[in-house]
Structure 1
Amino acid sequence: MQKYIFILFFTFHVFSISAQFDKTEYDLAFPLNIPVELSGNFGELRSNHFHAGIDFKTQQVIDKPVFSVADGYVSRFGVSPAGYGHVLYITHYNGLTSVYAHLDSFVPFLDSIVQAKQHEERSFAVDFTLPKDMIKVKRLQQVGWSGNTGSSGGPHLHFELRDTYTEEALNPFLFYDIEDTVRPRVHKFLLYPSSNEGVVEGSMRRRTMVLEQTKPGFYRHKGNVTIKAWGKVGLGVHSYDYMPNANNIYGVHSVRVLVDGAEIFVYQMDRFSFDKTRYMNAFIDYEEWYTNRSMVMTLFRLPNNKLDNYVKLVNDGYLLINEERIYPVQLIIKDFHGNTTTLDFSIQGVKQEIPKVEHPNAVAFSYDKENVFENADVKLTIPAGALYQNMLFNYSVRYNPKGFSDVHDLHLPTIPLHDYAELRIKLKNDSLSDKNKYYIARKNRLNGFDFVGNGYEDGCVVTKTRDFGQYAVLLDNKAPIIRLATVNNGHVIFKVSDNQSGVSHYNGYVDNEWALFKYDKKTNTITHKFDSKRVEKGGIHHIELRVFDKCGNEAVYQNQVWW
């Protein structure tokens, strides 16, 4: 049998992370003092990003004590109604920075510093750094309590380790021993004929192949049937890792592809840079994610994918089926602890003409150049580097005689954009005196429209977007809704909503003085807790809450509350 011919070969020289870090040298404590159970691991595929840490379960409750994992100093605080919620950063003297996110609260001394900053900036949301050694902490010193703040989907502690000098996220498994004896599983694998360069089973469309498991950890194409193909073909796999006594799914650590017994693709997730995390959209089959919410790893590299996690690439990971013979292919999938699963199948090279597909109405866009689509009513400007590969852009319009604009179909939402593009839509009916009330909206997967932006310039509404899809100009002249939910034990709780442009910002006042009102975006809840250091207890107090949406509409709630 002739060996697989390598037309182009290159290897990324990635220094072994495991060789850099010695667990015993760092001797990191666990951040919780309860049995270790994880709901998420490092490098999991999330919407538009890789998961930057590990998620510790907290027994389905909040307020578990959280401890510093090593000596160091508090270097940064963050408070946000979304994202990490209440988050604390500790810089250690060993080159690492630890991050503790979705906290319910900080210990009182640290909380007093955060609250002082919030009152100084007159904002619940703050993000600020502290000088080195201003607040020193010791290993296993309590720094806060676990919670469910920000974009958390349930009580847990999101924990990260970062390289202090590069600020890259590091795999915490490099520093902790956490038992895992369970193999990853393969749920789906796909073949991708390269456009106008490959064909699989007589088709130039991606093909989902049927799997069967022959024994634990071993998969093959169902019936061990040989797959017929020709030309340039990529592979994709949908695989999760699992852990003992847990129902959660986790990300895999590495994937290798071998053809004729030789490696052509190796991916490994030990660290990544935050400024590259969005390249995850080039690593997955984005169409499959958008359509079916299934994260399929594509085992080839698109031209503008700048991820550093490819240890080895031959022909960018594509199979070159250019001989009429059998090509044995093996995928080797591992978790961090070495538990291994393999998928074996064969491809029969069947020589054939690969038809050229013409798209006469499409506009060719290049990933390495600025691309502009423009007509009398709409202009889309995509900067160089925003696409992951060259594409053929399609446009259509749905006329809407009663609207402020027509509905512009700017290609398919199944194609990702890495950077922001500028979108400009001309108004058909520019009748409003307050131009801030116009906004550009994008059609979502549920056939509703989501706010994107609302700048106004010379009869056009202008915004930035990172998505293709259907866009139109809408009107928002309705204020948000504020509803008093409860007053109890010194807490005043409001429910807020805005069904169009969405809540932008708010301010709360007690007795006509700015006061700290906490906002939880996922529950649409704004809460004020009376503070005896700032308000005298035992009387009637005037409460005022002002909420603004993204089009400048304002809602005001005022009432008298006894406390």
Structure 2
Amino acid sequence: MQNFNKNIFILLFVFFSLKVSAQNESFSYPVKIPVFLSANFCELRPNHFHGGIDIKTEQRIGVPMYAAMEGFIYRIVVSPGGYGNALYIEHPNGTSTVYAHLDRFRDDIQAYVKEEQYRQKSFAVDLSPNKELFKVAKEELIAFGGNSGSSGGPHLHFEIRDTPTQDALNPLAFFPDIRDNIAPRIYSVSIYPISENGHVNFATFPRKYQAVGKGNNYSLSQAPEVSVLGKIGIAVNANDFYDGSHNPCGIYSAELKVNGNLIFGFTFDRMPFSDTRYMNSHIDYSESVERGSRIHRMWRLPGNQLNIYRQDLTDGIFEVSDGEIKNVELILGDLAGNKSTVRFTLKGSFMDIRRPAIANSRFFPYDEENYIVTPELEFFAPKGAFYDDFYLRYDSLPKSTTTFSAIHKIHNDGTPVHDAVTIRIKTSGLPEQLISKAFIAKISESGNRSYVGGTYRNGWFTSETRSLGSFAVIADTIPPSINPLSIKNNTLTESSRIRFTINDNLSGIQSYEGKINGEWVLFEYDAKYRLLVYHFDSSRLTLGQRQKLELRVKDNAGNTSIYEANFWK
């Protein structure tokens, strides 16, 4: 019997060893430099989970990029924001890989893209080449790393997707040899009173406690025991780190135990892109808005549709009665198996809690349609717009000298909105000649105004938005600014390119178009730097003569600026 068990153990060991070996052989790294990560899968980002891993490129632009497996390029995207220059490769094993924030594609791919840009007369393109056009072998050169799109520095954003669903898969499951000997670091634990008569340390709002500890074991600083009552929720602020990198990354898994019983847990193995905005229900959204800190909620809101949670456990909320003791453990892990634990005790302590009523508020059930209708505002939230029931507060202020409507304060921007809500605002004192320049704007507490948009009909503006806050109708009559960087007094100051910065301080840039001698030319746009660049192309432009340049830039309110120059090239 012992020999039988030994043989079974050996077979299982060989099986799993071969499985890991096969995973290692399935994909090669998309770079041929040492691999260090600056971000990992499902790291918490604004309004979404990070869909892949970020591989450092030694702070350099131009590092060669290689296909991680044989396949064919099925999509090529060029965008002034987002992923910037990106390639998508489909592989025979049912997966696809994505390579984003590239500086440029290899020459034949770049030539194909440029032809399409000129054909469409657009810098931004989303192309679907025939699968026979760009077949690639494993480790074949495909592009060069960069900082395009919404990147904050040179790196490769790399994804592995399930081809049929396009769900993002955790790339680290396919690269188990990335060095990670560092357990997650726990910074703080927040404790929330969920029930109406509940409290945390005799307060009706959440309390945050700093985590302290040695090694992988933590406790709450100056709070060995916390007085609470009623239904309780827990949230944790933590990061993970990788060998050779100081960049904070996201955790892979978390578990919540109460009195030794596992009641809640999640892991980040897979993420449908259609679900990624539910990140706002996974975190304490108001904490992220007010303090910029994204913390993992260890309970599930009723409108949260994510599939990352253990289905055989509870929703994570537990109750502490008067005189009751609850020992709580949070266990956070990474994919390499490193774990950290924070332990603390909750003691039930009765206190007569009377929460004050919220003035000018109305109850909004998350699973129903909700409305506000006044003589000057109509607000509609579809079922699924919110993640939980709440009392929405609405106030209005008289129109100011810079608005053409009352200012409508619809709750606050600390409450997340999933599906878009509709806002209709009645105008007041809007001149006929400004209707085409007017729109709904969101007004921050500091007075900053941001473009929401809208269409005008019979004295009302209507628009959709995915945030709450203060809104009013305003007008933008100032055209965008155009600042030449390569032309002075009709003379080129750069020999190989023409550069401009463009900006609009209110409604934002909607479009631009550059022409030389009346013909459309390709100006590349980097939105984060507000930078336009045209590279002289002798195959499309006759050189050795005077050139007439015209650049038109239009904002979202329809204001247009025109820059013209005549220069020798």
TM-score (norm 1): 0.94
Report the alpha carbon displacement of residue 325 of structure 1 after superposing the two structures with TM: 2.6
Question: In structure 2, how many angstroms separate the alpha carbons of the residues matched to 1:351 and 1:312?
Answer: 33
Which of 549, 553, 557 is the equivalent residue of 2:559?
553
1:161 corresponding residue in structure 2: 160
Task: Tell which deviates more after alignment, 544-553 or 396-405.
Answer: 396-405
**Inter-partner Cα distance in structure 2 for 1:354 and 1:261:** 29
Give the Å deviation of 1:355: 3.6
Aligned mates of 1:473, 1:195 — CA distance in 2: 39
Q: 1-side partners of 2:550 and 2:67: how far apart?
A: 38
* 2:473 corresponds to: 473
2-side partners of 1:85 and 1:79: how far apart? Answer: 6
How far residue 454 of structure 1 moved from its aligned partner, in angstroms, is 3.1
Q: Which residue of 2 aligns with 1:439?
A: 439
Distance (whole Å) between structure 2 residues aligned to residue 394 and residue 24 of structure 1? 56
Is the 1:440–1:454 Cα contact (8 Å) retained in structure 2? yes
Cα distance per residue 1:219-239 (max 9 Å; x no partner) = 112246211222110000000
Q: Deviations over 1:360-400 (max 9, x none)?
A: 53111111111111211111111110100111111112213
1:411-450 mapped onto 2 (5 Å cutoff): 411-444=411-444, 446-450=446-450
Matches within 5 A, 1:216-231: 216-223=215-222, 225-231=224-230
**Aligned Cα RMSD in Å?**
1.8
Q: Separation in 2 of the partners of 1:124 and 1:396?
A: 44
Change (3 A) 1:180 1:432: same
1:448 partner letter? N
* 3-state SS of paired residue (2:41): coil
Query: Counterpart of 2:291?
Result: 292
Output the amino acid matched with 2:148: T
Structure 2 letter corresponding to 1:206: P
User: Which range moved further: 312-321 or 534-543?
Assistant: 312-321
Amino acid at match of 1:561: F
Q: Which residue of 1 aligns with 2:494?
A: 488
Q: Among 535, 541, 553, which residue is 1:529 paired with?
A: 535
Which whole-Å deviations, capped at 9, do the CAs of 1:154-196 have from their partners, x for residues lacking one?
1111111100011100111011120011111111110111141
- Partner residue, 1:24: 22
Q: Distance in 2 between matches of 1:280 and 1:20?
A: 35
Matches within 5 A, 1:114-129: 114-129=113-128
Alignment of 1:155-194 (within 5 A): 155-176=154-175, 177-194=177-194
Residue in 2 aligned with 1:542?
548
User: 1:511-560 CA deviation, whole Å, 9 max, x = no partner?
Assistant: 10111111110001111111111112222211111111001111111112
Whether the aligned pair in 2 keeps the contact of 1:264 and 1:312 (CA below 8 Å) is no
Q: Is the 8 A contact 2:451 2:506 kept in 1?
A: yes
- Structure 2 runs not aligned, ≥5 long: 1-15, 487-492
Letter in 1 for 2:346: I
- Give, in whole Å, the separation in 1 of the partners of 2:368 and 2:459: 28
Q: Structure 1 pair 445/522, CA: closer, same or farther in 2 (3 Å)?
A: farther
Per-residue deviation, 1:289: 0.3
Any unmatched runs of 5+ in structure 1?
1-17
Q: Which amino acid aligns with 1:426?
A: K
Give the 3 Å change call, closer, same or farther, for CA 287–320 of structure 1 in structure 2.
Answer: same
TM-fit CA distance, 1:265: 0.7
Q: Distance in 2 between matches of 1:123 and 1:36?
A: 35
Distance between the aligned counterparts of 1:137 and 1:416, measured in 2? 43
Identity fraction in percent: 36
- The answer on 1:507 being equivalent to 2:506 is no
Aligned 8 A contact 2:235 2:295 in 1: yes
State the Cα distance separating 1:314 from its structure 2 match: 3.8
CA–CA distance in structure 2, aligned partners of residues 267 and 193 of structure 1 = 22
Q: Secondary structure at the match of 2:100?
A: strand
Separation in structure 2 between the aligned mates of residue 275 and residue 542 of structure 1, nearest angstrom: 46
Opposite residue 123 of structure 1, the aligned amino acid is: S
Q: How does 1:82-481 map to 2 (within 5 A)?
A: 82-176=81-175, 177-196=177-196, 198-213=198-213, 215-223=214-222, 225-312=224-311, 314-322=313-321, 324-355=323-354, 357-359=356-358, 361-402=360-401, 403-444=403-444, 446-481=446-481
Q: Give, in whole Å, the separation in 1 of the partners of 2:548 and 2:312.
A: 66
* Structure 2: distance between partners of 1:255 and 1:123: 45
Aligned-partner Cα distance in 1 for 2:364–2:314: 23
- Matches of 2:363 and 2:534 in 1, distance apart? 54
- Describe the SS at the equivalent of 1:278: helix
What's the CA shift string for 1:107-147, capped at 9, x where partnerless?
Answer: 11001111121112111001121233332000111111101
Alpha-carbon deviation of 1:420? 0.8
Counterpart CA distance in 2 for 1:354 and 1:220 is 28
2:68 counterpart of 1:69:
yes
Deviation at 1:61, TM superposition (A): 1.4
What code does the residue aligned with 1:178 have?
Answer: I
Deviation of 1:323 (Å): 6.2
**How far apart, CA to CA, are the structure 2 residues paired with 1:19 and 1:241?**
26
Q: SS where residue 196 of structure 1 aligns?
A: coil
Question: Which SS does the other structure have where 2:234 is aligned?
Answer: strand
Cα distance, 1:312–1:343 mapped onto 2, change above 3 Å: farther
What displacement does 1:336 show?
A: 1.3
CA displacement at 1:345 relative to structure 2: 0.5
Tell me which amino acid in the other structure corresponds to 2:439. Answer: Y
Of the structure 1 ranges 430-439 and 295-304, higher mean CA displacement relative to structure 2 is found in 430-439
Helix, strand or coil for the counterpart of 1:311? coil
| Equivalent AA in structure 1 for residue 427 of structure 2 | L
Deviates further, 388-397 or 23-32: 23-32
Partner Cα distance (1:477, 1:222) in 2: 55
Deviations 1:409-465 (A, max 9, x none): 110110010011111111111213352200111123653111111311111122111
CA contact (8 A) 2:209 2:223 kept: no
DSSP 3-state at the match of 2:421: strand
Measure the CA separation in 1 of the matches of 2:356 and 2:461.
Answer: 36
Tell me how far apart the structure 1 counterparts of residues 131 and 119 of structure 2 sit (CA, whole Å). 22
Residue 351 of structure 1, CA deviation: 4.4
The letter for the 1-side match of 2:549 is: I
* SS at 1:281 equivalent: helix
Larger mean CA deviation between 540-549 and 84-93 belongs to 540-549
Aligned counterpart, 1:7: none
Greater shift, 348-357 or 545-554, is seen at 348-357
Q: Deviations over 1:322-374 (max 9, x none)?
A: 36332111000011111111000111123455545533531111111111112
- Could you tell me how far apart the structure 2 residues matched to 1:205 and 1:128 are? 50
Q: Residue 219 of structure 1: SS of its match in structure 2? A: strand
Letter in 2 for 1:501: S
**1:489 positional shift:** 2.3
Provide, for residues 4-24 of structure 1, a one-character-per-residue CA deviation record: whole Å limited to 9, x for no partner. xxxxxxxxxxxxxx9998552
The 3-state SS of whatever aligns with 2:109 is helix
Letter paired with 1:180? D
Higher mean alpha-carbon deviation, 324-333 vs 129-138, is at 129-138
Report the 3-state secondary structure (helix = DSSP H, G, I; strand = E; otherwise coil) of the residue aligned with 1:288.
helix
Which amino acid is the alignment partner of residue 564 of structure 2?
Q
Offset, 1:199: 2.0
Tell me the SS of whatever aligns to 1:263: strand
Partners of 1:274 and 1:158 in 2: CA distance? 16
Q: TM-score, normalised by structure 2?
A: 0.93
Offset at 1:100?
0.5
Partners of 2:516 and 2:550 within 8 A in 1: yes
The separation in 2 between residues aligned to 1:240 and 1:112, in whole angstroms, is 42
